[in-house]
Amino acid sequence: MNRPKPPPVNLDKYCEGRSRNYVSYEDGARMYGMTYWGFVRLCQEIGANIPLRKTSIVDTEIVEAYIEEHTLEMVEEKEKADMARRKIEDLEDLIKLGKKKYVRIAEGAELYSVGLHTFESWAKDAGATRKVKGVVLVNTEKIDKFIESFAED
């Protein structure tokens, strides 16, 4: 009792007469640079998928609208975060005057003109790191002493 396999779904039949763009999950994932299952879950969450017999197609206009809406929100959040963590212009002056004893790793790397990993390893070797509620702070005085210990006579 072998049943013949049903013919593949004719997507043109479903898309005929519609002005929207439809793609398969595979094509959509490739188009948006996402993983296959990540794209499938996204489409299911936002209601952009149209289930067909043994497959589904995705309405790209719904996906585009969702991405556009959430991209604007992400840009606004990033701008707020940038304002909260504004760059300290006179970092070197503040440290020299003793008004700022501890710096974050990114600030220290910029201050000493080295990469993040290099500064992080210096801070660990010098024993200058302090972790306060998930934020790593580095004591600049200890870093200076550590660097001076390598002075050539």
Q: Which domain covers residue 116, as residue numbers?
A: 91-148
Residue 135 within any structural domain of the chain:
yes
pLDDT (tens digit, 9 = 90+) per residue, 29-70?
888 888 889 888 888 898 888 888 777 888 888 888 888 877
> Residue 16: pLDDT band by 50, 70, 90 thresholds?
low
Distant-in-sequence, close-in-space partners of 52: CB < 8 Å, separation ≥ 6: 9, 11, 14
Q: Which of 131, 140, 73 is nearest to 107 (CA)?
A: 140
Residue 153 within any structural domain of the chain:
no
Question: Among the three residues 43, 64, 82, which one is the final residue of a domain in this structure?
Answer: 82
- One domain for residues 74 and 16: yes
Q: What is the CATH classification number for the domain harbouring 42? A: 1.10.10
